[in-house]
Amino acid sequence: MKIRAAVNARFISAAVLLLATAFAAAASGCARTSPAVGTWTASQMGQQMTLTLNPDGTGTLTPPPMVGGPQPMKWTEKDNAVTLTRSDAGAGNGGAQSGSNISGTLSEDKKSMAFSFTLSPKMPPLNLTFQKQADAK
């Protein structure tokens, strides 16, 4: 009986260890870093803005100083389609509302990302192309 209990305990311990290892390997093997992750810059009418997209799905748009301060957001990417979602409705947000989405597309070479959006129904669409900056090493 003692031998059988010891064998069962070892079997259960080995099974738990095997499952934990398999889950850890699956999680690390399936983790995908989007090509959208990184720092991007765009220039519009001589004013530069920066878009930073973090691996955890958060990001920050830093517009020119005259437009306002950094604007937090969440983002997703699937099949080169990037969606930015405003996560606050702070002052100086250029008319964007919290929760509003802006959709863009990564270029085939993953070095640029184009967005077209409207800040107001009375204004024509604003087209911005962000260029990916080299990763700091």
**Domain contains 137:** no
Q: Indicate the average pLDDT of the chain.
A: 74
Q: Is 43 found in the same domain as 27?
A: no
Residue-by-residue DSSP string for 52-102: EE-TTSEEEEE--TTT-S-EEEEEEEETTEEEEEE----TTSTTPPTT-EE
Q: Is 44 found in the same domain as 27?
A: no
Determine the structural domain holding residue 11 and report its residue range: 1-31
Domain count, the chain: 2
Per residue in 73-131, pLDDT (tens digit) is: 999 999 999 999 987 654 444 444 555 788 999 999 999 999 987 767 888 888 899 99
| 115/104 Cα distance (integer angstroms) | 4
Average pLDDT (41-57) is: 92
Q: Is 97 found in the same domain as 69?
A: yes
